[in-house]
Structure 1
């Protein structure tokens, strides 16, 4: 348990900046690696479908290990855990960048994902030990701003690096950044006395296998739902069986207790529902541009810059507003703006141009900027002292599941409605309803014990 003795009286911005850059490295790996797939396929003689494992091998351990890693981090020294994670990312990046065979690329990406899960696990504990309670929304907003700005430049930068020096350089070019982040983190993150890096016990390993396996199998199921529905259904059954088995373990009680608590549980449901807006970015908008507007990926990319560009400058200010007016108030406002943005998307038709998409995506970006710092701060505020890592890991798992399910649900709605403008609107309705549910959940008063 994190004692009050380590709670700071004022914000230490150096560890917040280090955390933001570390989260940037971790989250950008989910997308920037996409530019390497053609080069990997060509140089290592693997099919385009096989190269998809470069992305999947990173996402699976990130989602599967987030909760067990969070429980482990709650008993560890966060500075040492931060150092372990960044060192693991560096070593795994070298392995991927120098891999002579495709299977080593996949192994390296699995290790990158596992190391990334540790950063997610120490995210909220570092905020707790570096920022007083009344400024945590602002600090989280700063972290999100750093991540968002990095996301804007990450993929184009990765493309330039791949064109100039090849796909291997994309995994190696970030090593100086990782080294700098590690140095700043080691100098600024407050060490928790009498803690080190405890070895995971048998119970924690069992929990990681069962719960992590359930999450990983569920994500694989949604990856197969369009092409192999029977296999996807079988995987869902297997995921449920593993989850039920895990729920009977004694080690599941802290997680289940946290999720069942009214304040945290409501925030988690809201996060799951509002994160469905990712289905617009990941599926509906690219297909609308390609099939309805007859545009290319460049048009989609330019349009999405307006979404990301609206998020970046607003997130830090939104975090400060959450500190002033309340996390739930700002989360409700942000999710409501997101619902309005989705409703506005329903008015897009075959005559739409870049400007028509751009201003609607700006509205969606504003909603995301208002919502994300507030909902993360709300989860942290609802977590009992000493369970901040668990709270962050649970939130990451739920967000990842939502970001996987949302494109699949959008694709089903698109296909069922016959594609085109009708299919786009059907998918938007699904997302809008989910976001509205996420807003409504936060409006229900929470009884304090």
Structure 2
């Protein structure tokens, strides 16, 4: 199977454009969705004023984008496997670019939210299929390096958003934060059209069917979960519990439906693979912890350390900056010493950084915050490059899109969960419901408690990674466990 894939890649390479242009195309397809998230966050105050809306209302400009990605990302990955990844990626880039234009010229809040939904649809396609294309455009020996590059571009998009958005809003107004992505989208479309390999021509009769019912059930389940984690701003009530119950029921019904479908959206048997199941679980846990830095960090810097908005923003950009600098070296380490070792090293670094933050006194100042955050973020870069490589490296061509979608979904679910759960942990550790009014010592204590919980989550992820490595290396262990379970029954 692997030899056959390598032969196909080498045949494609003879007639394909230089790999560097392919990588530029894929890099833009990853950078633009990340920029679309971070650049909108910084514009919320200006949008609330310009559109005469409350802060709760303009938050849906961000939420609509993120929810669309979360709900559709797996289904779109599977659709790419069926109809052709190049064709669908071009459609996704075109949708993202057109929606960016619509967002930049709209005059009402609801038109802007509608534009962000379409933009999220395009972003979901771009994020998923960019990673899926690595398997058919890059030699296997370089997979880690390219995964590291894509991680770097995502980090650059996240880090660039706040500073670029601030400059654009002050100089040209809020519309510029959406219109700035239009020329980049046009460039991404041009490069993708001219550099990405042509889809294998398959007739409609040869294509597997698309599980529309599965897509609907999964979408509703994910929407219920994401809404449960976002409505109420961290304070769980009856609505949140009802949504969580709906999501749990939806997950059960989806699993039963997929087991009976001839061409399922997700082949549940794939989750028996210890590398894939561990990769998804650890990605969710790690993303939950990474969201902690975005939820707790601003309050600690502004309230406990007394920094103004400008310095808080500068310090907050250190994390994405470190990720941007370490992404490519992390990918090269994966190619050099293997994904499993780099995964363990990355998680160990994240656990160490989180533990140090849980012990950091206020007297350590800015340096006492930046140093462990840099360790956490560098560990995250190692983990992302290694985990994505381990999961995506040896897949069949017809699985790349849906598995890439599942990886991206795991990361987004972690971010959504982290914003709610870790935000709730931080809030419970304070003596007031308004963190901006809390005493600096209470905020500092809240940071230490929250990162102690984060360290525990990373240790759990580390245990899963080590266990999956043992099962992958010695599959007889897995067979013995399965046999024992059958015997118990």
TM range (shorter): over 0.9
- How far is the alpha carbon of 1:82 from its aligned partner? 1.6
Match of 2:423 in 1: 411
Structure-1 residue corresponding to 2:112 = 105
What residue is the counterpart of 1:329 in the other structure?
341
For residues 301 and 407 of structure 1, what CA distance do their matches in structure 2 show? 18
- TM-score (norm. length: structure 1): 0.93
SS of corresponding position for 1:254: coil
| Alignment of 1:313 onto 2:325 | yes
- Distance in 2 separating the partners of 1:140 and 1:20: 10
Q: Contact between 2:35 and 2:160, CA under 8 Å: does it hold in 1? A: no
TM-superposed deviation, 1:174 = 1.6
Distance verdict in 2 for CA 1:420–1:101, change over 3 Å: closer
Residue 224 of structure 1 and its aligned partner are, at CA, apart by 2.5
1:13 deviates by 2.4
Structure 2 match to 1:246 = 254
Could you tell me how far apart the structure 1 residues matched to 2:391 and 2:446 are? 35
Greater shift after overlay, 113-122 or 250-259?
250-259
Any stretches of 5+ residues in structure 1 without a counterpart?
Answer: none
Is 1:143 equivalent to 2:155 in the alignment?
A: no
1:201/1:92 Cα in 2 relative to 1: closer, same or farther (>3 Å)? Answer: farther
- Superposed, 1:282-301 pairs within 5 Å as 282-301=294-313
Judged with a 3 Å threshold, the aligned counterparts in structure 2 of structure 1 residues 238 and 195 are, in CA distance, closer, same or farther, namely same
* Bigger radius of gyration: 2
Post-superposition Cα deviations, 1:244-277, rounded to whole Å, max 9, x if no partner, equal: 2211222547342222321211111111122222
Provide Cα deviations, 1:167-215, integer angstroms capped at 9, x if missing partner: 11211112111111111111111112205999x9995332222111111
**Cα distance in 1 between the residues matched to 2:265 and 2:216:** 16
Is 2:253 aligned against 1:234? no
Contact 1:64 1:208 in 2 (8 A): no
CA RMSD of aligned residues (A): 2.4
Q: 1:180 to 1:362 in 2, by over 3 A?
A: same
Distance in 2, Cα, partners of 1:123 & 1:61: 18
Q: Secondary structure at the match of 1:439?
A: helix
Per-residue deviation, 1:360: 1.6
| Aligned match of 2:125 | 118
Change (3 A) 1:59 1:8: farther
In structure 2, the CA distance between the partners of 1:42 and 1:31, relative to structure 1 (3 Å rule), is same
Q: How far apart, CA to CA, are the structure 1 residues paired with 2:202 and 2:35? A: 30
CA shift digits 1:368-413 (9 cap, x unpaired): 2211111111110364442011111001111111111113222222
* Structure 1 consecutive aligned stretches of length 4 or more whose deviation exceeds 4 Å: 195-198, 200-203
Query: In 2, are the aligned partners of 1:123 and 1:389 still within 8 Å (CA)?
Result: no
CA distance, structure 2, for counterparts of residue 255 and residue 202 of structure 1: 13
Partner of 2:451: 428
Going from structure 1 to structure 2, the CA distance change for 1:128 and 1:275 (only over 3 Å counts) comes to same
Do residues 221 (structure 1) and 228 (structure 2) align? yes
Indicate conservation of the 8 Å contact 2:76/2:125, yes or no: yes
Query: Contact 1:8–1:129 at 8 Å: present in 2 too?
Result: no
SS in 1 for 2:215: helix
After TM superposition, the structure 1 stretch with the greater mean CA deviation from structure 2, 401-410 or 148-157, is 148-157
| Equivalent residue in structure 2 for 1:370, among 344, 359, 382 | 382
Moved more, 38-47 or 268-277: 38-47
Q: Does 1:40 align with 2:63?
A: no
Mapped contact 2:152–2:328 kept (Cα < 8 A): yes
> Which residue does 2:282 correspond to in 1?
270
Number of matched pairs = 448
TM-score (normalizing by structure 2):
0.86
In the alignment, structure 1 residue 133 sits paired with structure 2 residue 140: yes
Larger deviation, residues 66-75 vs 406-415: 406-415
**Residue 74 of structure 1: which of 69, 81, 104 is its match?**
81
Shift, 1:231, TM fit:
1.1
Check the 8 A contact 2:304/2:444 in 1, yes or no: yes
Structure 1 residues 114 and 294: CA distance shift in structure 2, 3 A: same
> 1:256 is matched with which residue?
268
SS at match of 1:190: coil
